[in-house]
Structure 1
Amino acid sequence: MQEKARAVRGAYAARETARYGRRWNDEELMLGFLGDVGDLAKLVQGKAGVRPREDLDQALAHELADCLWSVMSLADTYGVDLEAAFDRTMAELGAHLARDGAAPSNPESP
């Protein structure tokens, strides 16, 4: 997934350079992510019946993937090993839940 995300980000960077004379900077990448999260929030409202649309499930899947791509691009930008960070965070959350007596339901979970 990370290789695909990098390839698409590289293609966008080339397009940005051709259009604007430079690629988006780190802050602009983050602002793009915020826009994606806003779009996702509207689709979640749709799932709650507030903003219905015919292609809701397809649009929701697309926007979740778009948000994931943005997170992966930001992780690359800042040199974060997202897989390692995810594993660490899930272990920390699992330990926190275990301390509270609410162990994760998946036996393979941390």
Structure 2
Amino acid sequence: MDLDELRRRALRIHDLYDELNMQERGRVWTREEFMLGFMGDAGDLAKLILAQEGARSARPDSQAALEHELADCLWSVLILAHRYGLDLESAFLRTMEELEKTISARLDRVGPEER
């Protein structure tokens, strides 16, 4: 599955949430509320990572829970990019190119003998 397919699936779920929220609350989530939902998911993910690393009590379904929270976070990122009209694929590729250049330049300054 490529990014476009993931985006389409994420938008389908987004639309279902909008429909549900209209029925139950008479309004849809704002961009700010999507961001807050993402922050909650990121917090849940942090707790699961801590559990995986032994810093918290692990759940019996920790692997499935970790997969679920990572998927929730990805969904939120895809939806936030959509809600702000961003081309996430281009932004990701551009950012990775910038990071690769920056990190490579720093590694070149250190030199292979110090690595």
Instruction: Calculate the TM-score normalised by the size of structure 1.
Output: 0.90
1:98: how far off?
Answer: 1.0
1:47: how far off?
Answer: 0.5
**Higher helix share goes to which structure?**
2
Give structure 2 stretches of 5+ with no counterpart: 1-5, 109-115
Percentage of identical aligned residues: 47
1:79: how far off?
Answer: 0.3
1:38 aligns with 2:37: no
Task: Assess if the C-alpha contact under 8 Å between 1:43 and 1:51 holds in 2.
Answer: no
Runs of 4+ off more than 6 Å = none
Question: Could you tell me how far apart the structure 2 residues matched to 1:42 and 1:98 are?
Answer: 33
Task: Assess if the C-alpha contact under 8 Å between 1:42 and 1:51 holds in 2.
Answer: no
Secondary structure in 1 matching 2:22: helix
Work out which of the residue numbers 19, 23, 28 in structure 1 matches 2:24: 19
Task: Assess if the C-alpha contact under 8 Å between 1:40 and 1:64 holds in 2.
Answer: yes
Instruction: Calculate the TM-score normalised by the size of structure 2.
Output: 0.86
Matched residues, number: 102
User: Greater RCO between the two (CA within 8 Å, min separation 6)?
Assistant: 2
Once the two structures are superposed, the pairs formed by residues 1-110 of structure 1 within 5 Å of their partners are 1-49=6-54, 50-101=56-107
1:51: how far off?
Answer: 2.4
AA aligned opposite 1:70? S
Flag the structure with larger Rg: 2
Match of 2:112 in 1: none
Secondary structure in 2 matching 1:23: coil
Question: Aligned-residue CA RMSD in angstroms?
Answer: 0.9
Give structure 1 stretches of 5+ with no counterpart: 103-110
